[in-house]
Amino acid sequence: MPKNVQNNNPGGNFVSNLGVRIRLIGRLMLDRRVNFIVKLIPLASLAYLINPVDLPTPLDDIGVVWLGLTVFVELCPPEVVEEHLDALTRVVDVTGRDPADGENQVIDAEFRQVPPQEKP
């Protein structure tokens, strides 16, 4: 079973988790390994949002879209979801390197403060 997007970043907030989930769905929609029939689920839920059945509250619209997008992610191949989710949530340091690569090196050096008169 794929990682849950909400639990992937325990220190994150609702908005950042929502952003990751939206990007994940976009990446899964473009991935050829995801079945075309499964890709119809989020399209159908968005079509419902555009042309809803008239009920007195907007909560049903939100619920249908949320359910459609959740079912879509759950029906996608777990390894594909994991691959895209890892790519979206990977931490990269300021040098552009992934800390998980094991190439992070500690540079042992000495520090010396240069007085202002010696600066070029």
The tens digit of pLDDT for each residue in 1-54 reads 444 444 444 555 777 788 888 999 999 999 999 999 999 999 988 888 787 666
Q: Contact 74/90 with Cβ under 8 angstroms?
A: no
pLDDT at residue number 1:
41
What is the rounded average pLDDT of the residues 78-93? 83
Domain count, the chain: 1
Q: Which two tokens stand for residue 32?
A: 């050829």
> Where is pLDDT greater, at 92 or 24?
24
Mean pLDDT of the chain: 77
Query: What integer pLDDT is reported at residue 6 of this predicted model?
Result: 44
Q: By residue range, what is the domain housing residue 100?
A: 5-118
Average pLDDT over residues 105-120: 74
If phi over 0 gives left and psi between -120 and 50 gives alpha, with beta otherwise, what is residue 35? Answer: beta
Output the pTM of the full model.
Answer: 0.57
Percent of the chain, pLDDT > 90? 28
The residue among 110 and 103 whose pLDDT is bigger is 110
The Cα–Cα gap between 49 and 44 comes to: 9
- Residue 76 gets the label, from left (phi > 0), alpha (psi -120 to 50) or beta, of beta
